Copies of this chain bind each other. A is one copy, B any other.
Amino acid sequence: MIRPLRIGLVGSGFMGRSHALAWRIAPLVFELPVRPEIVVLADRTEELAAQAARQLAIPRATGDWRDVVRDPEVDLVDITTPNALHKEIALAAIEAGKAVYCEKPLAPSAADARELTEAAERMGLSTFVGFNYLRNPMTRLARELVASGEVGEVWNFRGIHAEDYMSDPGVPWSWRLDPAGGAGAVADLGSHIIAMARFIVGPIDELVADVDTVVTERAITRGGAPVRPVEVDDEARALVRFANGATGTIEASWVATGRKMYLAFELTGSKGSILLNMERMNELRLFVKGQKAGREGYVEIPAGPDHVDYAAFLPAPAHQLGFNEIKAIEVKDIAMAMGGGPAFRPDFREAYEIQRVVDAILLSARERRWVSIDEID
């Protein structure tokens, strides 16, 4: 009998539920070296936690995340709380010697992310950060097309993550707008496209950026008067230079009216190009030079069993994976790592590297100058 991987889940919102689902799905479709079990759920109040635990079939519930962290039955602390709480919980988990799985963004600043990274590394603990879109088989295909040289040398990466959940000025103030969380759209969404850029192209060396806030005040509650100033960015954008010589742009917005899941990039290489857009996450468009005259164009490749991880869910192409299944791939990779398999990326160190780019964008925007990532500790 394989040994259990006992998980303590913190948070039961959008991401908490998605993690809970993923942990159930993964062992049914993948052969895992450990048997994941969510043993306890923490939420803001005991009542909330109990209710969610009942629905999610988690045996125990608590209103205090500290109970999870210090629980001797827990091997892995899985953090899906609002961003501003990540650090405190993760640090406590590390101190308690637990492996930690944290939703992105890891921490409100690179300094905080580094503190977490170093703490975990000192303790020799495994860490995992939830940049789920990197697990999409089509994202993996993009990486493979670059790594194998099929699209040649990367010349340009034009990336964006834009949604519109803050486009309505009537959306009230919330934890996403808390500057203690570090930043706005660039942290919440920008971190995804930065993670993508690093995953597919490689490290960014330097950048110049601009940010702005278009809804400058919001109400405390929906329908109230807009009285609380918004101190974080609604939109951010940067010109970037990668270590390997590629150049590009990175953009983030949570006020992109009409956009719901526009995490997308256009990658240009010397031999071919790739278009990927999570609005249609089961497709990748690939152009390769040198086709027969008059037959040249982008190939629209549907996700299928020829792509990594897809066949675990479906034996037929174009039948489509959903968001939650991409999350299940993520927890599969975590379970593999926890069971002695290949190391998981992004870990805390990679999340720290991502956060350095976020911080560099904010610094560049503040000081209106090019910033080297090395300037960010």
Q: What residues make up the interface of A, taking CB atoms closer than 8 Å to B?
A: 14, 17-18, 20-21, 24-25, 27-29, 31, 55-57, 141, 151, 153, 155-156, 158, 160, 162-163, 165, 167-169, 208-210, 212, 214, 234-235, 237-239, 241, 247-249, 251, 253, 255-261, 268-273, 279-282, 286-287, 289, 291, 293-302, 304, 306-307, 313-325, 368-370
**A212 touching B247 by the CB < 8 A rule?**
yes
Residues from chain B with a CB closer than 8 A to the CB of A370 are 368-369
**B210 touching A257 by the CB < 8 A rule?**
no
- Which 7 pairs across A and B sit closest by C-beta, in order of nearness? A322-B322, A258-B287, A260-B318, A294-B306, A261-B318, A297-B301, A258-B273
Residues from chain B with a CB closer than 8 A to the CB of A268 are 162, 253, 255-258
Looking at the complex, which one of B14, B281, B286, B368 makes contact with A295 (CB distance below 8 Å)? B286
Residues from chain B with a CB closer than 8 A to the CB of A261 are 302, 316-320
Q: Nearest residue in B to A208 (C-beta to C-beta)? A: B208
Residues from chain B with a CB closer than 8 A to the CB of A369 are 368-370
Known contacts being A155-B214, A160-B158, A302-B297, is A323 close to B317, with CB within 8 Å?
Answer: no
Chain A to chain B contacts (Cβ below 8 Å), 22 pairs: A21-B28, A21-B29, A24-B24, A24-B25, A28-B55, A155-B235, A156-B235, A158-B251, A162-B268, A168-B289, A208-B208, A239-B239, A249-B249, A257-B268, A257-B271, A293-B306, A294-B307, A295-B299, A297-B299, A297-B301, A320-B320, A321-B323
**A258 touching B272 by the CB < 8 A rule?**
yes
Known contacts being A301-B294, A306-B293, is A314 close to B324, with CB within 8 Å?
Answer: yes
Q: Nearest residue in B to A260 (C-beta to C-beta)? A: B318
Q: Nearest residue in B to A261 (C-beta to C-beta)? A: B318
Known contacts being A209-B239, A235-B156, A287-B257, is A14 close to B315, with CB within 8 Å?
Answer: yes
Q: Nearest residue in B to A32 (C-beta to C-beta)? A: B55
**A321 touching B319 by the CB < 8 A rule?**
no
CA of A160 to CA of B237, assembled, Å: 15
Residues from chain B with a CB closer than 8 A to the CB of A156 are 235, 253, 256
Residues from chain B with a CB closer than 8 A to the CB of A241 are 210
**A321 touching B318 by the CB < 8 A rule?**
no
